Structure 1
């Protein structure tokens, strides 16, 4: 490897026969107008002060093209700047008039190999997806140019700015001279001696930062001798599915979701590439096997983004569209597993539909209740591996996922109907407009085959956001603030003009004319005025429709477990020593826990809820086992705080109203306490068991 500083055009585009090839593992040309304008500002400075300007580093590997016997430069890094320079040259050439023929001829010698076959006529060879546009531009074939692409847009930016310079008196030859003073540090690699992969990853280039998809493409294609075939067969289809409108966002998001799915854990954006490389090495992939798998999952992911283009059932398309509308992408790593199981015939389409409905409705219910989404990344990253850690759960696929979701507590719990009803009636539905639009469409569409779509529909307030005099006659400011954005005061119209703060009579006319919306408005159009009580009544009516629409039946199946476990009983307390509890079962119902202490607290809360009068009667309950905690004679299981020995206080937890239960001590001690509680509540000891992780 050697490095030296030189003028980029004079060295790399010298007026001689040569090829500058952008290898297939390079990213697409994606410099923006901002990047180009910044470079043009620098060139304008060079025009004025005639001093060279440094634009960064170019890494290349020089060889001989055996077919033509001419130098060939493989551009490892720097293609964004080199491609942009050629676009600037072409823009300047197209502005040269008859008096500037010398400049035009010189530019032509920089851009083309005059005496080479057509295939090698143009010196710069971008990757295939860009080369079509690049050649069309240089060969003046406007019918083949994508005017929304970066190649054409940046060419037009340069042409417009150069034209203004020329009109101000700057000659094309002066601009060309300035372009030839753009300097780079050229890092030349020797084939067989230098590792371009390492250099590519470590070099700190100016220009557009490398994305994770850029790095992964480079990793999979750079060092493979079949890189052209792999690019054609795998990478190009992946890009075609996920990269649209010159935007890498979905491609990069896919790779993050793919890495999360493969690693069964959360992965920070900055660690996507390193995690991918680690997975590649640990799982023994080849470049081709990795690309083959990535293409398979890209097809699945593409269906998430564009369900209308798939062959799935209308039901599945509908749920995917709902997730899309709500931007609920955190579930995608889990759904990639599920859709892969469908493609591999592990599950049928009916099961796929049930799982997709479960996940969609779960997320909708959470959104309605305005539950923060920060915990969802972890839930969906681990969900598949935790549900199917026990392979037998694949035979009860939907049921296992359902049971696991309903076993979640705290932030990940499935919101119950009571919480859902409260949020629908009293919550600010308008603040999340994609969700609000979805809710109202689901109310209106019901189970009809011909459904309204979100196209050209706007959310409207019946009682307006700003009260006019006609509305203030019977609605106070306080009432307005409390109810204006609730579900009962909202509707949808297909009109471009808003109903704004028109009178209620005028709004009714608009809603009546919108004849396709009926269920939503049936309790509005026949009213003489719109009161707070009308809003409350309508909120309750619409909420009941949605609760029915988003109903989920909880699966209760004690045979579905999520870990390989052993069961222990209070009749054998010594069996708890050294074991890790995962759940307990009480009279057929299963409850997840993390410690033995958790069992005592959760159990007494369950028992107290079922029989709230008994707890007070059990104050003073003691146990008879060997007491290893201290020399105290305090053996109280349930008591008041004043009855607890000071040395023992930290072994007790308050249940309610100053009543405490013993929760501390070893696992054996806790099982003795649990036995006393079970007996005190007249529960058969065989109806209570604790699941602990199996020793093998």
Structure 2
């Protein structure tokens, strides 16, 4: 490796035959107008003070093009600046008049190889997706130019700027002289001795920061001898599927979701690239096998972003459209597993639809209840690996996923119907317009999505957001604030907020004219006025519709486990020693736990709920508080805190009404507590078992 400082144009665009090749692993030309204007400001300073200006480092590898007998420079880093410099040169050339022929000729010699075949006429060779636009611009073929692309936009910025300079008295030859004073540190690599990948990753250039997709592309293509074919066959289709409007956002988001999916854990943005490299090495991928897999998952992932363009069934497209509308991207790592199983015929289309419905409704119910989404990143990162850690669960694919979701607690729990009803009646839905549109379309359309779509629909308030005099006659400010944004006061029209704060009579006319919306408004258009009671009644009616639509039957199947487990029974208390409980089964129902303490407390809650008087009898306490039972001195289940041996107080917990139970200590002792409870409640011991994590 050798480094020296030189003027970029004179060295890299010298008036001689040469090729400047941007390899396929480089990112697209992404410099924005801001980047170009910053460089133009620097050039203006050079014009004024005639001093050289440093613009960063250029890393290149020089070789000889044997076909043409000319030097070829492979640009490892710095393509954004070099491409921009050529656009500035072309813009200046196009402004040269008859009196500026010397400058125009000199620029032509910098940009082209005058005596080379057409294929090598233009010195700079951007990557394929940019090269079409670049050649069209330099060859003056406006019909082939994408005017929304960075190549053309930046050319226009430069041309307008140079034109204003020329009009102010600066000559084109002066601007060209300033351009030739742009200096770089040129780092020349020697083939076979220097590793361009390592050097590329370590450079912090002054141009656009590298994205994760840039780094991954470089990693997969830079050192491969067959990089051109891999680019054409794999990377270009990957990029075309996700890159829209010259924006890498979705491509970068895909790679983050992909590494989360592969690693079964959350991954911070800054660690996406390093995690990808680790996965590549651990799975012993080749460049091609990694690209093959990426292409497969990109095809799946693009269906999430653009469901209407996918080849899946209308039902599948409907669920994906709902998730997209709700912006529920946290589930995408799991969905990539799900769709891969469908593509690999692990599951059929019916199962795919059932799981999509489960996930969609789970997320809709959470959104309705306004539950924070921060815990979902972790849930969906490990959902697939947790559920299908036991491979037999794939035979009960939907059932296993259903059971796992319903086993969640705290923030990840499935909201029940009571929570859902309260939220639908009382919550502010206007703060979440995508959710509001979805709910109203689901109410109006029933089980189909054919009648109405979100296209030109506007969320409208029946009682307006600002009360006019006619509304204040029967609506107080307090009630208005509480009910104005609730579901019962919202509807949809295609009238672009025409309802505004009109009177109720005027609003009814608009709603009646919008004859496509019937179910939503059937209890609005028949009213003489719109009161708080009407809003409440409508909220309850719409809530009934949505609760029925978003109902999920909970799967209860004790045979479905999420870890390799051994079963232990009360007849062998010693079997619990040094074991980790996962769940327990009581009369066919399965309950998830993490400790033996959890088992004791959860079991008492279940038994006490069925027969509250039994626990009182067990500890010897009658309803008057007198001890009159031989069990009154029970050392495992007692009634008074003062009866607990001070030496082991921390092993006890109050479960209700002054009743203390042994919940700590050796696992074998806890098994005796559980046995006493089971026996006292007349439950067959064979109907109770504990699943503990398997030793192997």
What TM-score, normalized to structure 1?
0.97
Give the match for residue 311 of structure 2. 311
Moved over 4 A (4+): none
Give the structure 1 partner of residue 624 of structure 2.
none
Larger CA deviation: 425-434 vs 636-645: 636-645
TM superposition shift of 1:681: 2.2
CA contact (8 A) 2:61 2:74 kept: yes
Distance 1:286 1:39 in 2: 40
Q: Counterpart of 1:566?
A: 566
Q: Is the 8 A contact 1:92 1:162 kept in 2?
A: yes
1:205 equivalent in structure 2:
205
3-state SS in 1 of match to 2:665: coil
Indicate conservation of the 8 Å contact 2:593/2:599, yes or no: yes
SS at match of 2:619: coil
C-alpha contact (below 8 Å) 2:579/2:692 kept by paired residues: yes
Q: Does 1:88 align with 2:88?
A: yes
Measured after TM superposition, the shift of residue 120 of structure 1 is: 0.4
SS at match of 1:188: strand
Give 1:274's aligned residue.
Answer: 274
User: What CA distance in whole angstroms lies between the structure 2 residues aligned with 1:171 and 1:178?
Assistant: 11
Instruction: Name the structure 1 match of 2:31.
Output: 31
Aligned with 1:613: secondary structure? Answer: helix
Match of 2:193 in 1: 193
1:528-547 matched pairs, under 5 angstroms: 528-547=528-547
Is 1:57 aligned to residue 57 of structure 2?
yes
Once the two structures are TM-superposed, the CA of residue 659 in structure 1 deviates from its matched residue by 3.2
Question: Is 1:432 matched with 2:432?
Answer: yes
Separation in structure 2 between the aligned mates of residue 647 and residue 476 of structure 1, nearest angstrom: 63
Secondary structure (helix, strand or coil) at the match of 1:429 reads: coil
Cα drift, residue 498 of structure 1 = 3.4
SS of equivalent residue, structure 2 residue 691:
strand
2:675 maps to 1:675: yes
Which residue matches 2:626? none
Distance 1:164 1:659 in 2: 88
Q: CA deviation at 1:449?
A: 6.1
CA shift for structure 1 position 311: 1.6
Q: Distance in 2 between matches of 1:323 and 1:491?
A: 21
Contact kept in structure 1, 2:330 and 2:377, CA below 8 Å:
yes
Whole-angstrom CA distance in 1 between matches of 2:657 and 2:81: 73
Asked if the contact 2:59/2:78 (under 8 Å) is kept, the reply is yes
2:693, 2:434 → 1: CA distance? 43
Residue pairs, 1:360-509, within 5 angstroms: 360-448=360-448, 450-509=450-509
CA distance, structure 2, for counterparts of residue 638 and residue 440 of structure 1: 55
Inter-CA distance 344–21: structure 2 relative to 1 (3 Å threshold):
same
1:82: Cα distance to partner?
Answer: 0.6
Secondary structure of 1:584's match? strand
1:519-558 deviation per Cα after TM superposition (whole angstroms, max 9, x unaligned): 1111111111000000000000001111111111111112
User: In 2, distance between residues paired with 1:7 and 1:246?
Assistant: 30
Post-superposition offset of 1:448:
4.0
Q: Report if the CA contact (8 A) 1:619-1:640 is conserved.
A: no
Contact kept in structure 1, 2:651 and 2:664, CA below 8 Å: yes
Return the alpha-carbon distance in structure 2 between the equivalents of residues 471 and 645 of structure 1: 69
Which residue of 1 is the match for residue 215 of structure 2? 215
User: Which aligned pairs between 1:106-255 and structure 2 lie closer than 5 A?
Assistant: 106-255=106-255
Q: What secondary structure, in the 3-state scheme, does the structure 1 residue paired with 2:408 have?
A: coil
What's 2:594 paired with? 594
Asked if 2 retains the 8 angstrom alpha-carbon contact of 1:634 and 1:644, the reply is no
Unaligned runs of 5+ in 2: 622-632
**What is the deviation of 1:129?**
0.5
Q: Larger deviation: 298-307 or 165-174?
A: 165-174
C-alpha displacement of 1:573: 0.8
**Aligned with 1:330: secondary structure?**
helix
Quote how far apart the aligned CAs of 1:609 are. Answer: 2.2
Task: Tell me if the contact between 2:637 and 2:659 (Cα under 8 Å) persists in the aligned partners.
Answer: no
Deviates more, 1:657-666 or 1:200-209: 657-666
Contact 1:581-1:593 at 8 Å conserved across structures: yes
Asked if the contact 1:583/1:691 (under 8 Å) is kept, the reply is: yes
Partners of 2:71 and 2:363 in 1: CA distance? 58
- Cα displacement (A) at 1:96: 1.3
The alpha carbon displacement at 1:677 in A equals 1.7
Q: Distance in 1 between matches of 2:289 and 2:228?
A: 16
Distance 1:448 1:594 in 2: 43
SS at match of 1:4: strand
Matched residue, 1:337: 337
Structure 2 Cα separation of the partners of residues 620 and 124 of structure 1: 93
Q: 2:695 maps to which residue?
A: 695
Distance 1:369 1:607 in 2: 31
Looking at structure 2, the residues matched to 616 and 184 of structure 1 have their Cα atoms a distance apart, in angstroms, of 86
TM-score (norm 2): 0.97
Q: Which moved more, 1:4-13 or 1:609-618?
A: 609-618
Deviations along 1:171-230, one digit per CA (max 9) or x if unpaired, are: 111111111111111100000110001101111111111111111100000000000000
| Segment of structure 1 superposing worse, 674-683 or 12-21 | 674-683
Shift of 1:620: 5.3
Name 1:626's counterpart in structure 2: none
Q: What is the rounded CA distance, in whole Å, between the counterparts of 1:402 and 1:338 in structure 2? A: 14
CA contact (8 A) 1:620 1:636 kept: no
Partner of 1:654: 654
Matched-pair contact (CA < 8 Å) for 1:620–1:637: no
Alpha-carbon separation, structure 2, partners of 1:463 and 1:613: 52
Q: Measured at CA, do residues 480 and 638 of structure 1 come closer, stay the same or move farther in structure 2, by a change above 3 Å? A: farther
Aligned residues of 1:260 and 1:267 also touching (Cα < 8 A): yes
Task: Check whether the contact 2:458–2:497 (CA below 8 A) recurs between aligned residues.
Answer: no
- Please name the residue that 1:40 is paired with: 40
The answer to whether the 8 Å contact 2:417/2:547 transfers is: yes
> Counterpart in 1 of 2:326?
326
Output one character per residue of 1:232-271: Cα deviation in whole Å (capped at 9) or x when no partner.
Answer: 0000000010111111011011111111111111111111
Gaps of 5+ in 1: 622-632
- Cα separation, 1, equivalents of 2:465 and 2:650: 55
State the alpha-carbon separation in 2 of the partners of residues 618 and 36 from structure 1.
83
8 A contact 2:369–2:420 mirrored in 1: yes
SS of the residue corresponding to residue 440 of structure 2 reads: helix
Per-residue deviation, 1:634: 8.1
Instruction: Measure the CA separation in 2 of the matches of 1:548 and 1:666.
Output: 47
CA distance in structure 2 between the aligned counterparts of 1:227 and 1:455, rounded to whole angstroms: 43
Question: Contact 2:31 / 2:208 at 8 angstroms: preserved in 1?
Answer: yes
How many residue pairs match? The answer is 685
State how far apart, in whole Å, the 2-side matches of 1:641 and 1:99 are: 105
| Cα distance in 2, alignment partners of residues 678 and 634 from structure 1 | 15
SS of 2:430 mapped into structure 1: helix
Residues 1:638 and 1:208: Cα distance change in structure 2 (over 3 Å): farther
Shift of 1:638: 3.5
Q: Is the 8 A contact 2:31 2:150 kept in 1?
A: yes
Q: Would you say the 8 A contact 2:60–2:73 is kept in 1?
A: yes
Deviations 1:316-345 (A, max 9, x none): 000000001111111111111110111111
Report SS of the residue matched to 1:498.
coil
Question: Aligned partners of 2:602 and 2:48: how far apart in 1?
Answer: 79
Distance 2:379 2:638 in 1: 37
Q: Distance in 2 between matches of 1:595 and 1:360?
A: 32
Q: How far apart are the structure 1 equivalents of 2:99 and 2:163? A: 15
Structure 2 match to 1:629? none
